[in-house]
Amino acid sequence: MDKLWTFGDSFTAGHGCEEKNEYYKKYYKEGDKLWCEHLADKLNLESINLGVNGSSNERIIDSIITNYDKISTNDIVIIQKSYPHRLDVPNMGTEGNEWVTIFANYEFNTWYLKTLSKEQYQTAIDFCYYFSDNSKYKKRQNLRFGFLNKSLIKDGIKVFVWDLLEIKNKKLHPSDYQTIRGATNNEVSDGHFSFDGHYQFYKWIYEEIKTKNEII
């Protein structure tokens, strides 16, 4: 069966809509799905969702490269760009992934703090503070996304790219879609798509991919 490959961060992974989450446990109803699952069903494709919560653009690019040779000509690939200020540092411990993504405006995960010396922690924080907002990161990331996009298209694969920060069509930003916070009247404080938000986003992206090879 041909596949729908989706790469991205939490807006692709379905943060908050996983079985372990409070929102899912209290509000899930039969037929609720992530936007990529709705889309795969519509296109009669198998959904391969490789979105990972908290991913930097570098980790998304790494995931595309790692899976590149598994993608076939009749597959469809949808790539979501994340925030350019997310930066990766090597995981100094034995738990978790090889890399840990840090945000300029967030603390490290508690488990990761335990793997760093005070000097390493301060170095990472300073790196984020002084460099993460530099526009050169986005320029470099876009260059790499563009190369992968063109390479996949040359291989005859249909590719669509959307940017979390720069959707320029009728719906301007993922926050324009229903969030978990909105769906639960603030009972669950989460700004990611609710199940209805996933359906709304699926409807938008389906209309886009019918006519375009690149959304952004």
SS (H, E, C) 44-109: CCEEEECCCCCCCHHHHHHHHHHHHHHCCCCCEEEEEECCCCCEEEECCCCCCCCEEEECCCCCCC
Q: Is 184 helix (H, G, I), strand (E, B) or coil?
A: coil
Please give the pLDDT value at position 115: 72
Selected residue with higher pLDDT from 207 and 147 = 147
CA-nearest of 170, 216, 181, 189 to 8 is 216
Report the pLDDT value the prediction gives residue 113, as an integer from 0 to 100. 63
Confidence of residue 70 (pLDDT cuts 50, 70, 90): very high
Q: Per residue in 192-205, pLDDT tens?
A: 999 999 999 999 89
Q: What is the pLDDT of residue 61?
A: 97
Residue 8, pLDDT > 50, answer yes
Cα distance between residue 86 and residue 113, in whole Å:
17
- Which class is 3-86+135-209 in CATH? alpha beta
Q: At what angle do helices 35-43 and 195-209 cross, to 10 degrees?
A: 40
Distance CA 69, CA 28 (A): 35
- Sequence ranges of the domains in the chain: 3-86+135-209, 87-131
Q: What is the pLDDT of residue 168?
A: 45
The pTM of this model reads: 0.90
What gap in Å lies between CA 86 and CA 80, rounded to an integer? 14
| Average pLDDT of the residues of the chain | 87
Is the predicted pLDDT of residue 154 greater than 70, yes or no? yes
Q: What percent of the chain has pLDDT over 70?
A: 88
pLDDT band of 69, cuts 50, 70, 90: very high
Residue 58 has pLDDT above 70, yes or no: yes
- Regarding predicted confidence, which is higher, 214 or 190? 190
Are 101 and 54 in contact by the 8 Å Cβ rule? The answer is yes
What percentage of the chain reaches a pLDDT higher than 90? 62
Categorize the per-residue pLDDT at 93 as very low, low, confident or very high, splitting at 50, 70 and 90: confident
